[in-house]
């Protein structure tokens, strides 16, 4: 009964013109001239069947299907994917299954994946059954799954074990095809990286490497006179070099007190004027100043590449799918209400 139903559906889908009309035409045969009295051979030529009505100007074409009242619905053809080298039929029951990752399928994604799968078959990327089973055993071992638990995963997605193996094989094949067609072109052009860098600058916070020295007020001496002496000494490079400077350390503007903000304006090698402290004065020498500036491109290259990669992948996938669709014909079948209601009641 199932075969009968499928035959009825296909006959309604492909109601091709009958090829019974033959025409007798004289055809030239090599070696025989038309003007001679030699026998003229008559070759019966069949007219070429007209498939133009199957090719829609706007894909996918929707072709209504008339199902006899006596037909018992078993499944329904959602769409037919006619690729350059293969034809696939997608049934309505397939749309009710989930992907192996648990996500819900939609017709457009299934049709696109089926075209990619055809491309994978073209380049012999479909793994052997034994290889698929070994991959599944590896997954079982990695996640500590029993055979029954693996089968339950397939069942939850709407597959029998064999259908799950087939779906997993299809998944691996499509991944290989995408890797070849898209993954090999995933390098981000330098102009795109530079454009993103220029449009999204990240400023590097200023920081300053300085040294410090402290002088205590001597007993019995004018503090003002002592500060003047230190001020004269710090302007003499030779004398300043002999000061007992600390190990260089790094400070940021936010870490400096208000009376130390002058450090942000000092130049490399410059020694600050004396700054009063509780029991003496202190000096600072600027070892190396790093003002606020954009983070160098080389430090951000990996980050920018990771940001641009998803958009690049989407663009290449869109081009890949468009190329596959341009070389194929997708026929989407209308769902008769009677069949749709009947199948909905059983799912």
Which CATH number does the domain housing residue 278 bear? Answer: 3.10.50.40
Q: CB 223: neighbour CB atoms within 10 A?
A: 13
C-alpha 51/C-alpha 64 separation (Å) is: 17
In the predicted model, is pLDDT for residue 26 greater than 80? no
What average pLDDT score do residues 192-219 get? 95
Q: Are 195 and 232 members of one domain? A: no
**Do 176 and 110 fall within a single domain?**
yes
Evaluate whether 206 touches 291 at the Cβ level (below 8 Å).
yes
Band of pLDDT at residue 182, cut at 50, 70 and 90: very high
Q: Which two tokens stand for residue 234?
A: 């710090």
Separation between Cα atoms, residue 39 and residue 42, nearest integer Å: 9
Are the C-beta atoms of residues 210 and 251 closer than 8 Å to each other?
yes
User: In this model, does residue 41 exceed pLDDT 90?
Assistant: no
Least confident of 71-75, 112-116, 229-233, 264-268: 71-75
Using pLDDT thresholds of 50, 70 and 90, give the confidence band for residue 27. Answer: very low
How many structural domains is the chain composed of?
A: 3
pLDDT tens digits, one per residue of 211-269:
999 999 998 889 999 999 999 999 999 999 999 999 999 999 999 999 899 999 999 99
Residue 175 pLDDT exceeds 60: yes
Domain that holds residue 299: 185-200+295-321
Q: What pLDDT is recorded for position 67?
A: 66
- In terms of domains, do 121 and 250 share one? no
Q: Are residues 195 and 217 in the same domain?
A: no
SS3 content of the chain, % helix, strand, coil (to 5): 45, 20, 35
DSSP 330: E
**According to the model, what pLDDT value does residue 220 have?**
84
Same structural domain for residues 95 and 78? yes
Least reliable range by pLDDT among 46-50, 64-68, 292-296: 46-50
Residues 6+ apart with CB under 8 A from 199: none
Give the largest CA-CA distance in the chain: 145
Q: Is the pLDDT of residue 35 over 70?
A: no
Predicted local distance difference test score (pLDDT) of residue 333 = 85
Residues 167 and 254 in one domain: no
* Average pLDDT over every residue of 121-136: 95
User: What local confidence, expressed as pLDDT, does residue 342 receive?
Assistant: 52
Contacts 24+ apart (CB under 8 A), 190-195: 192/308, 192/312, 193/297, 193/301, 193/304, 193/305, 193/308, 194/297
- Residues 142 and 129 occupy one common structural domain: yes
> How far apart, in whole angstroms, are the C-alpha atoms of residue 335 and residue 88?
18
The Cα 79–Cα 111 span in angstroms is: 8
Helix axes 147-157, 129-143, angle to 10 degrees: 110
Same domain as 118, residue 7: yes
**In contact, 16 and 49? CB cutoff 8 Å:** yes
Let me know whether 86 and 227 are in one domain.
no
Q: How far apart are the first and last CA of the chain?
A: 20
Class of residue 156 by CB neighbours under 10 A (exposed 0-12, middle 13-18, buried 19+): exposed
Find the mean pLDDT for residues 305-310.
97
**What token pair was written down for 160?**
């029998």
| Whether residue 168 is found in the same domain as residue 30 | yes
Q: Which of the listed ranges 29-33, 216-220, 268-272 does the model predict with the highest average pLDDT?
A: 268-272
Looking at residue 61, its pLDDT comes to 53
> What integer pLDDT is reported at residue 58 of this predicted model?
45
Please check whether residues 177 and 32 belong to one and the same domain: yes
Query: Any residues with CB less than 8 A from the CB of 93 and at least 6 apart, and which?
Result: 75, 76, 343, 347
265 and 176 both lie in a single domain: no
The answer to whether residues 95 and 105 touch, using CB atoms and an 8 Å cutoff, is: yes
Distance CA 134, CA 150 (A): 13
């Amino acid at each position: 009964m199932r075969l009968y139903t499928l035959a009825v559906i296909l006959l309604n889908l492909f109601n091709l013109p009958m090829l019974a009309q033959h025409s007798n035409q004289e055809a030239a045969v090599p070696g025989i001239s038309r003007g001679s009295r030699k026998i003229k051979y008559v070759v019966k030529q069949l007219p070429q069947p007209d498939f133009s009505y199957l090719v829609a100007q706007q894909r996918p074409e929707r072709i209504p299907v008339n199902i006899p009242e006596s037909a018992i619905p078993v499944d329904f053809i959602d769409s037919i994917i006619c690729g350059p080298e293969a034809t696939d039929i997608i049934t309505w029951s397939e749309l009710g299954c989930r992907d192996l990752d648990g996500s819900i399928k939609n017709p457009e994604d299934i049709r696109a994946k089926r075209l990619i799968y055809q491309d994978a078959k073209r380049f012999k990327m479909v793994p052997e059954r034994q290889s698929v089973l070994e991959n599944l055993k590896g997954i079982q071992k990695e996640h500590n799954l029993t055979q029954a638990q693996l089968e339950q995963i397939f069942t939850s997605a709407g597959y029998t074990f064999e259908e799950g193996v087939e779906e997993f094989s299809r998944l691996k094949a499509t991944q290989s095809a995408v890797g070849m067609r898209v993954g090999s072109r995933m390098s981000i052009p330098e102009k795109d990286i530079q454009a993103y860098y220029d449009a999204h600058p990240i400023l590097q916070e200023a920081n300053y490497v300085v040294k410090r020295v402290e002088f205590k007020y001597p007993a019995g001496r004018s503090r003002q006179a002592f500060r003047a002496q230190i001020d004269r000494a710090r302007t003499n490079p030779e004398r300043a070099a002999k000061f007992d400077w600390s190990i260089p350390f790094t400070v940021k503007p936010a870490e400096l007190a208000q009376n130390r903000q002058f450090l942000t304006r000092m130049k490399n090698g410059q020694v600050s004027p004396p700054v009063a402290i509780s029991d003496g004065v202190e000096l600072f020498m600027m070892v190396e100043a790093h003002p606020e500036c954009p983070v160098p491109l080389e430090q951000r290259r990996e980050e920018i590449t990771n940001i641009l990669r998803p958009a690049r992948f989407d663009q290449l996938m869109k081009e890949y799918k468009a190329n596959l669709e341009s070389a194929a014909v997708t026929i989407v079948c209308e769902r008769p209400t009677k069949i749709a209601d009947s199948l909905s009641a059983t799912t």
